[in-house]
Structure formats: structure tokens, C-alpha cells
Amino acid sequence: MTIAVGDKLPDVKLVKATTDGIDAVQSGEYFAGKRVALFSVPGAFTPTCSAKHLPGFVEKAAELRAKGIDEIVCTAVNDPFVMKAWGAAAGSADVTMLADGNGDFAKALGLTMDGTGFGLGIRGQRFAMVINDGTVEQLHVEAPGDFKVSAAEYVLENL
């Protein structure tokens, strides 16, 4: 079952790479008490993700915050070290990179995709959501191959 607007986020482990190593965070606790723009990509360093998706949220970070977003978070079914390197390559500390290395978060949301035909395994779909105190306020899931409704501009227009 796919998560929907009005649903509470599932409580699963995500991992954040820091200068001191890696920190496990529970999604239930992490997203509590704040309004978050979260976007998910099929993979770090992949073409659309690197050329458009992440850069859009970096570029629009100040505008998102001006509209009441406390934090911008990116997730992908990648390990925390890859997510940290991708965030550093993007040149911005405005986006928190949370690794969903085992795909548990994507599975719990009901938003996985099968990339095995491309050698990618099971990944998270491309989507964006606004989370308010752990509850889904907005949910924008892309059709396969599309990049429209999960873009930072689209999320910003809908705030």
C-alpha cells in the first residue's frame, strides 16, 4: 500500500553520514516537530538526479524556507557514504542527505521501483513530499521516466 496525504510516516531507520562517521536515525523521531520537504531519487550521481533534481532543491532552498520549510531532505537507496559524497559534490549544505541503503524506507512508503533490468536492483521511486510533524501534507509521485511533480519548483508552487 502506498502512503497517502494525511498518513503518518512509517518509523524506519535511515542513515546519515557525518564527519564523525555514520548516524542511524529513526524516521518517526527525525521528522517529528518540523516541516520538511523530502525528495527521493532512484540513485545518487544518476543523470536526471544529478543534473536536475538535487540542483533544483539546492537552488530553491531559501525560497522553500521562506514558505515555512524547516529542512530539505534527500533520500535514495544508496549507502550513506555515497549520499555524503553526492551532497558534497552538489556544493550545498542546504540539503540533508539520508541514506536508505536497504530500501526499508522506500518499501515502507510503498514507493519502490524495480531497476533490475538496468543493474540497479530495487530502488525508491522519484517523488517529493512535504511532511509536517511526521504527517504527509503533500505527496508528488512521478510517472516512470518523468521529472515534473517532484521538482523543487513544483513543490514550491504547491506550498
Residues forming the active site = 49
Helix or strand run (H / E) with residue 89: helix 80-90
Cα distance from N-terminal residue to C-terminal residue, the chain: 26
* 7, 13, 14, 25, 44 from 151: Cα distances, Å: 22, 25, 22, 25, 16
What span, in angstroms and rounded, lies between the C-alpha atoms of 105 and 99?
9
Give the three cell numbers for residue 55.
Answer: 540542483
Give the three cell numbers for residue 132.
Answer: 509536517
What span, in angstroms and rounded, lies between the C-alpha atoms of 12 and 153?
28
Q: Tell me which amino acid residue 84 is.
A: K
